Structures are given as C-alpha cells and as structure tokens.
Amino acid sequence: MTQLSEIRQRWQALGAKPEHAAHLLRRWLHARPLHEDGRRRMEDWLPKALLAALPAIEQELHALARVVSSHPAADGSARCLLALADGQTVESVLLPRSEGLCVSTQVGCAVGCTFCMTGTMGLLRQLGSAEIVAQVALARTQRAVAKVVFMGMGEPAHNLSATLEAIQALGREGGIGHKQLVLSSVGDARLFERLAALGPGQVRPALALSLHSTQAERRAELLPRAPRLEPAALLEAGLRYARASGYPLQVQWTLLHGVNDGDDELAALVPLLRAQPAILNMIPYNEVDGLPHRRPSPERCTEIFRFLNQRGVLTRMRYSAGQDVDGGCGQLRARTAPTGVGQRPVVRLQLA
Ligand code: SF4
C-alpha cells in the first residue's frame, strides 16, 4: 500500500520543495498531465532531477488504481471495480447526486456487518492514502467530482491515519470543499479524538455515523466487531463534533424488515435526535443473495419517514445508488474476484 507521505518524501529526494509537490499532486488529483502547465514552462521551474523523473512518477501514480469494469445504472450512478497495483480489487461508485464519489478505504472489512457483502470477506488489507485519493483522480478522468464520501469498502476508523491523510490532500490539492468530504464510520473513540485534534489550518471533514439501532445489544448483533459504544454515547460524541465543526452529523440507518424498523426504535430515536444538528438517513435495505435480511415495505418506509419528521427528527429516505447493478457494497468484488466471498482474511486488523 502506498502512502502520500512516502511519495512526497521520494519527490523531496529529487529536489522537490513543498510547492513543487503540491503542484504535482494538484495536477494528478485533477486528472491533468503532470508535465504541462498553461502558465509556465516546467523546465524553468521544477528541479532537474524531478523533471527527469516525471514520466516515471506519472506512470507510478496511474498504476495505483485502474478500472477493471464500470457498471452504469438506471439512476445515473456507476459502480466501478478497480484493480490496485498488487491486483487486489475495490469498488468505488460515481453517485448520481452532487457530482459525488463513494470511495473505499480497505480491501474487505473487519466489522462484519450482517447486512453487508464486504463484511463477509474479512479484512484483506488496508489501502494507502495514495490509493484512496487515486480513486478520485481516476473518477475525474470520467467526470467532475465535487464531493467524496468514505462509505465504500472498509471502515475508515480502522485505517485512520491513511484516511485522514487522504482527506487533507483532497481538501487542499484536490480542491474539494471540506464539508463535501464525508467520513463515514461505525464510531470509534480514536476517531473522535483525532477529529477533535484537527486544528483550524487543517481540513475537517463532515461526519456520518452508522447507527442502525438505538439498542446496544441489537447493534452488537448487526455490527459484530464494531467498538462496543452505547448508541446514545456514540451519538453524543458525533454531535459534539458536529457542533465544533459546524457541519450537521449524518446518522446512517440501514432499514431491515423486522429487525430495526419497529416502533420501539423509532420512539427511542426521537429524544436522541430531535432538534439536534443531525440528519437521519434512512436507507431501505438493498437485498443481497446469501444474506438473511429483507427490505421493509414501501408503506412502512413512508410511515417511518412521516413519524420521525413530524416529531422533529430531520429524516431523509435514501436509496443506495445503482441497485440494478449489484448495488450493495462489496457485491461487484464478490462476484468478480477469483477468490471471492468467504475468502479468509490474510492479515490481522491493524488499527492506525
Ligand atoms: S457496512 Fe461498512 S463497516 Fe459494515 S462490514 Fe460493510 S464496509 Fe464494513
């Protein structure tokens, strides 16, 4: 896995000053050739050794991720299966709204959510920060990207340093508005500590928390290897960051028929989220062959939407993108990877 910090160090060894490195990153992250710049001659500006290495640098950056297959859907989204330099594959999704892109932070995932195909794989390896931002550079060769959500394969809090390094680069050289960088997590004490420590000169992302239940026991069944934080305490930590950052907390809730779509859950959500700086995203489950869960009926989804909004919980009903093309996270990889679902993790979870 390649980190941006390693790449920067290699460029520094070739004589690059911070402004040269920032320039090259900017060109790459906007899908523009490194050796061109309309305003000045590269020969007059870049150190000689760096200039000579540009073709090799460009080749290395392009090799970080390449499109194996692209699957456009009727809703305007496109799910892409990407190959990394070592042949491992991850998914990213061009979203139909807001020029958004959903990126992966790990190959597989250790959390093991019972409704997610990626969770059945275990963690195969971490992505380096360069591999995370490469998904954006690659997507920009196809269309504009103005928003990046870290909701693809993997749990960002389990690859925290690389994810935060990628966020800094996307907010600076990548030109993406800080509020448009949405870090999604099941919640982890270290994540809240690191977010709180981001200073005024650093890029602060928006935060999305995957809650899925207000009851600790039910949540532990659904997200078996997520940190054991009480749902109310988890929300409070997220809301604290929302108040500090000025961005509303996004609360993710995959609606599962007969599991977390009951009146008990709705009643418990109201005092937790009413009049708080939060948006509750209810996501009716996208059914997956081989996994046990079912989607609630459209009538029940409407009832839930009305009940919560009428009681002061700002609720949106969101449908996951690209449902007609293996829309659940991890399905493309599971269908196409030769080793596929059920492959045992080859590395232990490493927390960064
Ligand atoms: S839903 Fe997210 S955290 Fe849960 S297993 Fe899938 S990728 Fe991991």
For 172, half-sphere exposure in the C-beta direction (CA atoms, 13 angstrom radius) is 16
Residue 342 pLDDT more than 70? no
- Is the shortest distance between the CB of 7 and ligand 1 below 6 Å? no
- Is the shortest distance between the CB of 136 and ligand 1 below 6 Å? no
Pocket probe mutation, ligand 1, options 90, 113, 117, 126, max atoms within 8 Å of Cβ: 113
Q: What pTM, to 2 d.p., does this model score? A: 0.92
- Is the shortest distance between the CB of 231 and ligand 1 below 6 Å? no
Distance CA 318, CA 98 (A): 14
- Is the shortest distance between the CB of 222 and ligand 1 below 6 Å? no
Q: pLDDT digits over 305-330, tens only?
A: 999 999 999 999 998 766 555 555 66
* Contact by Cβ (8 Å): 111, 212: no
Pocket probe mutation, ligand 1, options 91, 104, 109, max atoms within 8 Å of Cβ: 109
Banded model confidence at residue 340, pLDDT cuts 50, 70, 90: very low
Pocket probe mutation, ligand 1, options 155, 183, 186, 223, max atoms within 8 Å of Cβ: 155
- Is the shortest distance between the CB of 182 and ligand 1 below 6 Å? no
Give me ligand 1 centre to Cα 117, in Å.
8
* Contact by Cβ (8 Å): 322, 288: no
* Contact by Cβ (8 Å): 126, 350: yes
Banded model confidence at residue 41, pLDDT cuts 50, 70, 90: confident
221 part of the active site:
no
Distance CA 137, CA 156 (A): 19
Using the 8-state DSSP alphabet, how is residue 206 labeled? E
What are the angstrom distances between the C-alpha of 37 and each of 18, 42, 47, 61, 143?
A: 17, 7, 15, 18, 21
Average pLDDT over residues 232-253: 97
Distance CA 59, CA 55 (A): 6
Give me ligand 1 centre to Cα 151, in Å.
8
> Taking the mean position of all CA atoms in its chain, how far away is CA 61?
20
Query: Phi and psi of 64, rounded to 5°?
Result: -65, -35
- Is the shortest distance between the CB of 118 and ligand 1 below 6 Å? yes
For the CA of 115, the closest atom of ligand 1 is 1
* Contact by Cβ (8 Å): 186, 111: yes
* Contact by Cβ (8 Å): 65, 89: no
Mean pLDDT, the chain, rounded, equals 91
Q: pLDDT digits over 164-185, tens only?
A: 999 999 999 999 999 999 999 9
Helix (H) / strand (E) element for 209: namely strand 206-210
For 121, half-sphere exposure in the C-beta direction (CA atoms, 13 angstrom radius) is 29
Distance CA 74, CA 199 (A): 42
Residue 352 pLDDT more than 50? no
Banded model confidence at residue 81, pLDDT cuts 50, 70, 90: very high
43 part of the active site:
no
pLDDT at 289: 84
pLDDT at 350: 31
